[in-house]
């Protein structure tokens, strides 16, 4: 009589013993035209337990920051790419073990819980009569940039007071907190300042310096600005617009508009409508160059430049020509909130056929905006300033704004650029025309 041996991998009980394969953490698809990222920081350390869907690492792209979640429960067994390293789509970032390592960690966690169970129960009983405080932790109320900066500089984010909306902690708050600390702490918390070497010789100027790593977004902004100046035949033309009619219309209609739509009508919706009207009249400004061809766009995706903590971003209002004043205002408000909260998605920044930038909110009187490639036109708004102007032979004080249009002279002639800006001026000075042509 013969006795059959169990299959390889089976125990004597006849149950197959399978070894769990580690789960790879890879760089996901980053969005249209984005192929590289920088590892901003790891949210977990090697040996930490992770849950499926929990963020384990934060990546920084030239457009947005994004968190990479764990696909399965387990233990972060290995980190293969460190903070500050550049990575590409599909690169391996780390490994998650789902087998014995995860079980051992869970057992250790359970043991710790059992050992501390009695004191914890007493603590719960002691605090039972205390009212609950649902206020979120400061770490949750901090922007991603602020959290990363605090981690890099060794700052306890919970000690930082937030001056942002709803008490949100921003990068500037972290900076101010660091500056308010004693000099000895500032040196230890940053990689700049007057730092002594082993031989006692100071590094940098003894009066103090701060060295900051240039973010991927800032690097990309720098590269694109230089690229725009080197590849495009960029010129700028100027004009001025009398905003009396727009301001009177806003003053007259804002109460009913706000009651109906829940928000005030701002200047950006007027300028967006005026730009669309001018683009329809001069379509070369709504185009781009691809090789030796000119691609004319028959849709109007208007980029609105917004200043963020780490640099300028340009979220896009899509199909703006099909939107009402209220819809444009609501969309711009939504995008601006996303910028401040650090929640912009790649799709919010994708594409764009023409850009509007408003330096007036910072007090700029006149500037020459730089093109946002591959776009061939950008309109610069500036501060509204009351100035004496001649009206039908009389001198009147009017709310005036300088406008600047930068354009790519390779496909836009000076005549078209000047006429485009004149068209924008006409539509703003007679806003009733926006209903017909905008």
pLDDT at residue 28 in the model: 87
Q: Residue 1 — pLDDT band, cuts 50, 70, 90?
A: very low
255 confidence band (pLDDT: 50, 70, 90): very high
Give the Cα separation of 387 and 187 in Å (integer). 49
Return the SS3 of 405. strand
Mean pLDDT of 414-419: 97
The percentage of the chain sitting over the pLDDT mark of 90, rounded to a whole number, equals 41
**DSSP character string of 150-200:** HHHHT--GGGSPP-SGGG-B-HHHHHHHHHHS-HHHHHHHSS-SSEE-TTS
- pLDDT at 19 (0 to 100): 53
Residues 325-351: tens digit of each pLDDT: 999 999 999 999 888 887 888 888 888
Whether the CA torsion 338, 340, 345, 349 is positive or negative: it is positive
The confidence score (pLDDT) of residue 204 equals 64
Is a pLDDT exceeding 80 seen at residue 431? Answer: yes
pLDDT at 120: 45
Does the pLDDT at position 284 exceed 50?
Answer: yes
Which pLDDT value is given to residue 88? 86
> Token pair for residue 177?
């907190």
Q: How many helices (H) and strands (E) does the chain have?
A: 12, 21
Residues 346-374: tens digit of each pLDDT: 888 888 999 999 999 899 999 999 999 89
Q: Is 321 a catalytic residue?
A: no
Q: Where are the domains of the chain?
A: 23-101, 144-193, 234-437
Q: Does domain 144-193 have CATH number 3.30.410?
A: no
Q: Alpha-carbon Rg of the chain, whole angstroms?
A: 29
pTM of the model: 0.62
pLDDT tens digit string along 6-59? 444 444 444 444 556 788 898 888 765 677 888 888 998 888 999 988 889 988
Quickly list DSSP for 342-389: T---HHHHS--SEEEEEGGGGT-S---PPP-TT-SEEEEE---EEEEE
Across 125-131, average pLDDT: 47
pLDDT for 392 beyond 60:
yes
Of 122-136, 249-263, 274-288, 331-345, the range with the highest mean pLDDT is 274-288
* Residue-level pLDDT at 381: 97
pLDDT for 20 equals 64
CATH topology agreement for domains 23-101 and 144-193: no
Q: Is 408 a catalytic residue?
A: no
Interval 149-202: pLDDT, tens: 787 788 888 888 887 666 778 877 888 888 787 654 544 444 444 444 444 444
Per-residue model confidence (pLDDT) at position 191: 45
Q: What is the pLDDT of residue 215?
A: 74
| pLDDT above 80 for 304 | yes
Per-residue pLDDT band for 288 (boundaries 50, 70, 90) equals very high
Judge: domain 234-437, CATH 3.30.559.10: yes
Q: What is the tens place of the pLDDT at every residue in 51-84? A: 988 889 988 876 677 889 998 899 999 899 988 8
pLDDT bracket for residue 137 (50, 70, 90): low
Tell whether omega for the bond before 374 is within 30 degrees of 0, i.e. cis.
Answer: yes
| pLDDT for the residue numbered 190 | 42
The CATH architecture of the domain made up of 23-101 is Beta Barrel (2.40)
Alpha-carbon gap, residue 5 to 12, rounded angstroms: 9
Cβ atoms 312, 305 nearer than 8 A? yes
């Amino acid at each position: 009589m013969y006795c059959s041996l169990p299959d390889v991998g089976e125990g004597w009980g006849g149950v197959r013993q399978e070894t769990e394969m580690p789960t790879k953490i890879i760089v996901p698809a980053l969005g249209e035209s984005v192929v590289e990222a920088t590892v901003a920081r790891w949210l977990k350390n090697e040996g930490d337990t992770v849950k499926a869907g929990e963020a384990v690492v934060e990546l920084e792209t030239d457009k947005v920051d994004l968190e990479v979640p764990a696909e399965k429960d387990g233990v972060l067994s290995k980190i293969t790419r460190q903070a500050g390293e550049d990575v590409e789509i599909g690169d391996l970032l780390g490994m998650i073990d789902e087998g014995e390592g995860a079980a051992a960690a869970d057992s250790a966690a359970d043991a710790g819980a059992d050992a501390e169970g009695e004191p914890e129960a007493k603590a719960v009983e002691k605090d039972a009569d205390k009212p609950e405080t649902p206020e979120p932790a400061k770490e949750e109320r901090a922007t991603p940039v602020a959290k990363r900066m605090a981690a890099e500089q060794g700052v306890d984010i919970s000690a930082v007071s937030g001056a942002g909306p709803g008490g949100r902690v921003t990068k500037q708050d972290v900076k101010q907190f660091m500056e308010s600390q004693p000099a000895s702490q500032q040196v230890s918390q940053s990689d700049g300042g007057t730092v002594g070497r082993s031989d006692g010789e100071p590094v940098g100027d003894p009066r103090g310096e701060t060295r900051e790593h240039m973010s991927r977004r800032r690097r990309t902004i720098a590269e694109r600005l230089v690229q725009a100046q080197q590849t495009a035949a960029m010129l700028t033309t100027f004009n001025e617009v009398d905003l009396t009619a727009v301001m009177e219309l806003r003053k007259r209609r804002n109460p009913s508009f706000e009651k109906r739509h829940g928000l005030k009508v701002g200047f950006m919706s007027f300028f967006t409508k005026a730009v669309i009207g001018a683009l329809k009249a001069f379509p070369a400004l709504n185009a781009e160059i691809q090789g030796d061809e000119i691609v004319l766009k028959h849709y109007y995706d208007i980029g609105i430049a917004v200043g963020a903590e780490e640099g300028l971003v340009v979220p896009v209002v899509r199909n703006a020509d099909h939107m009402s004043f209220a819809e444009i205002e609501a969309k711009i408000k939504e995008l601006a909130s996303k910028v401040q909260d650090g929640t912009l998605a790649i799709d919010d920044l994708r594409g764009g056929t023409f850009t509007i930038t408003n330096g007036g909110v910072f007090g700029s009187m006149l500037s020459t905006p730089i093109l946002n490639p591959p776009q061939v036109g950008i309109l610069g708004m500036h501060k509204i300033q009351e100035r004496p102007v001649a009206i039908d032979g009389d001198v009147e004080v009017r709310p005036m704004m300088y406008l600047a249009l930068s354009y790519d002279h390779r496909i836009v002639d000076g005549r078209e650029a000047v006429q485009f800006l004149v068209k924008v001026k006409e539509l703003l000075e007679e806003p009733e025309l926006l209903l017909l042509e905008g």
